[in-house]
A and B are shown apart, each in its own frame.
Chain A
């Protein structure tokens, strides 16, 4: 059958479209359920967090990457391995703060927003906010408390999509009381 001929070539792309569309359906539902955009952002972040804490296990198991020595290495792994593996894109890492505890991920094209246009009445909606939650949740599981937020978004007219990540602290292993 002729219609099967070019299936293998774009099956990867199709799969990313499934994800994109499903995510779109989710955001649509959230916008219906909640009155304001802030609540939607919060909910997306929460769901992302839940995904992140589970996704990190999948990631560590499959990438065989060990403990990161510093935040720079973490940044590299996130951009070059994790984003590539799960979203098929490689953001660039820039805008390091002098102290080396803050950097930006610049996404040329964000696969989550492939077919998306924001209506005017959702100006404060951070459409891809799920990603922030995912990053925060995943890093928390490897003992890093990090603050993640979108500082630029092409959906809202910026030239690029920028995720700003700030290292807060290393989470200490909690020993049970009385245990040395």
Chain B
């Protein structure tokens, strides 16, 4: 498949579905995010399995993160992460200046409060991908200006 439109539409329907089935309150909102994240987790795992079929063993954690930023991101979003930062103590910040799943929304503030919906699945993707490489993590995301987006990866020590 040469095309990303089906994935984008499917992702959108996914969000619509999850949110339509339960439209009440803050607590539900958290659960919806979790649901989306869990779906992403499974997809990330599968994808990583396929993607690393023929790659060499990773040297260390940083090497793994680089792989996520380059190959994994290119595979999913057709571009690399624009900026990777770390405090060398297990926290990584991945910045994407033009995050695909938000690029169809207005760049203004109008839909800023909807943005978290569009990030949850991807957080799961990253977490799942890492988990399949033996790295346990917590992934969160934030948007300050559309469509730029920061993913924070906190590595959990085993």
User: What is the interface of chain A, defined by CB distance below 8 A to chain B?
Assistant: 2-4, 6-7, 11-12, 14-19, 21-26, 28-30, 33, 43, 47, 50-51, 54-55, 58, 85-88, 111, 115
Interface stretch, picked from B1-9, B86-94, B132-140, B144-152, is: B1-9
Q: Please pick, from A4, A25, A111, the residue contacting B39 in the complex, using a CB distance under 8 A.
A: A25
A86 contacts B1, CB within 8 Å? yes
Q: Complex formed: what's the CA distance from A24 to B6 in Å?
A: 14
A58 contacts B5, CB within 8 Å? yes
Given A21-B46, A25-B43, A88-B3, 9 further pairs, Cβ under 8 A:
A4-B70, A16-B1, A19-B6, A21-B42, A28-B39, A33-B21, A47-B13, A55-B6, A86-B3
Tell me the minimal C-beta distance from B36 to chain A in angstroms.
9
Q: Please pick, from B7, B18, B40, B67, the residue contacting A19 in the complex, using a CB distance under 8 A.
A: B7
Interface stretch, picked from B23-31, B71-79, B111-119, is: B71-79
A-facing residues in B34-87 (Cβ within 8 Å):
35, 39-40, 42-43, 46-47, 50-51, 54-56, 67, 70-71, 74-76, 78
Q: Please pick, from B4, B9, B46, B71, the residue contacting A7 in the complex, using a CB distance under 8 A.
A: B71
Interface size of B as a range: 35 or more
Q: Complex formed: what's the CA distance from A115 to B51 in Å?
A: 15
Most chain A CB neighbours (cut-off 10 Å) among B9, B35, B76 = B9
The 10 closest A-B pairs by CB, nearest first: A16-B1, A25-B39, A3-B55, A88-B1, A21-B43, A51-B9, A14-B75, A47-B13, A21-B46, A19-B7
Q: Complex formed: what's the CA distance from A86 to B8 in Å?
A: 12
Does any Cβ of A come within 8 Å of B16's Cβ? yes
Q: Complex formed: what's the CA distance from A115 to B1 in Å?
A: 16
Supply 29 A–B pairs (Cβ within 8 Å), ascending by A: A3-B55, A3-B67, A11-B74, A12-B2, A14-B47, A14-B51, A14-B75, A15-B3, A15-B4, A15-B75, A15-B76, A16-B1, A18-B75, A19-B6, A19-B10, A21-B47, A22-B7, A22-B10, A24-B42, A26-B10, A26-B13, A29-B18, A47-B13, A47-B16, A51-B10, A54-B9, A55-B5, A87-B6, A115-B46
The A-B contact count (CB < 8 A) is: 98
Closest chain B residue to A54, Cβ basis: B9
Q: Complex formed: what's the CA distance from A7 to B13 in Å?
A: 29
Q: Complex formed: what's the CA distance from A82 to B18 in Å?
A: 28
A47 contacts B71, CB within 8 Å? no
Closest chain A residue to B43, Cβ basis: A21
Residues of chain B contacted by A43 (CB below 8 angstroms): 17
Residues of chain A contacted by B98 (CB below 8 angstroms): none
Tell me the minimal C-beta distance from B125 to chain A in angstroms.
9
Closest chain A residue to B18, Cβ basis: A29
